[in-house]
Amino acid sequence: METYIKTFIDYLNYEKGLSANTRAAYQRDLQKLQKFLQDRFSVDEPVEINRDHILAFMNWQLDNGAEYSTMARSLSSIRTFYRFLFLEGHTRFDPTVNIDTPKIKRKLPEVLSIEEVDKLMETPQVIKPLGIRDRAMLELLYGTGVRVSELLDLQLDDINMTAGFLRCIGKGRKERILPVNQSSIFWIQNYLVKSRSLLVRQPLERTLFLNARGGRMSRQGFFKILANYTEKAQIDKEITPHTLRHSFATHLLENGADLRTVQELLGHADISTTQIYTHLTKTHLREVYQRYHPRA
């Protein structure tokens, strides 16, 4: 099965153009299935796997505390894998047929208030090179709504500070052009002049945001930076890079932006993905109403 998984991951890369993170998620799901089937049933070939094996795998995940969203994603990975095997002529049936996708209770994402955003932005010590870098990253993440992977992939040539736009490559290698606000531009210019020149080790390095060793920053590295500033700002919420993306979209809608524009800015292929933010704005309106209306 290992050979089939490798061929499938190559297909996702070269034929479908999926990101490294997405490919890694598919690979983890399939390798987890492979290990389970080998340990439990001594089954390794895709043609040997049947519906009962998949159901046993799903139940095993549930018994081990997996969230329904995790189970739904792994089932989707297996379905896509078998669709590929069928198209390539490696199998004639799909064992996931007639297996229902676990129902996911959609959880509304955490959103920061504008005051909390301001507090977070002001936390980095901008008298230090790394503090300037961190302020620039936070400003750009909230100011454009980009995903953390898109932020960390940015190259020097991707930002036109004179025109106030940046170019980013999103899911499925789709390019989008986003406006950049003046606050973000101010801090990026500060970073380029006062910080990046001190961090860079290789003259040919084109990645915009660098870690303390002069290389490309990892997602885990940025998560740690954000967690540190969340604690220092004393914000009693679980903040991830996606929280700033959610806050960006919610604040736009609260201030009158239309859903289609927000969809374009976020890079959502389907507007139904963007519609979750309308629920957030309705929740906000209800809270304001209940707080301030004398008859509420």
Domain boundaries, the chain: 2-87, 114-292
Does the pTM of the predicted model rise above 0.85? no
Q: What is the mean pLDDT of residues 150-168?
A: 95
Q: What is the mean pLDDT of residues 170-186?
A: 90
Identify the pLDDT of residue 48.
92
The residue length of the chain stands at 296
Identify the pLDDT of residue 228.
96
* CATH code reported for the domain at 114-292: 1.10.443.10
Amino acid at 240: T
For strand 159-160 and strand 165-169, is the pairing parallel, antiparallel, or unpaired?
A: antiparallel
Identify the pLDDT of residue 226.
96
Identify the pLDDT of residue 75.
93
Q: What is the mean pLDDT of residues 233-259?
A: 89
Q: What is the mean pLDDT of residues 10-17?
A: 89
Q: What is the mean pLDDT of residues 144-164?
A: 94
CA 276 to chain centre: 16
Active site residues: 147, 171, 242, 245, 268, 277
Q: ∠ at Cα 82 (78, 88), nearest 5°?
A: 150
* CATH code reported for the domain at 2-87: 1.10.150
Q: In what order do the strands lie in the sheet with 159-160?
A: 159-160, 165-169, 175-179
Identify the pLDDT of residue 149.
92
Name the band, by pLDDT with cuts 50, 70 and 90, for residue 291.
low
For residue 113, pLDDT over 50 is answered with yes
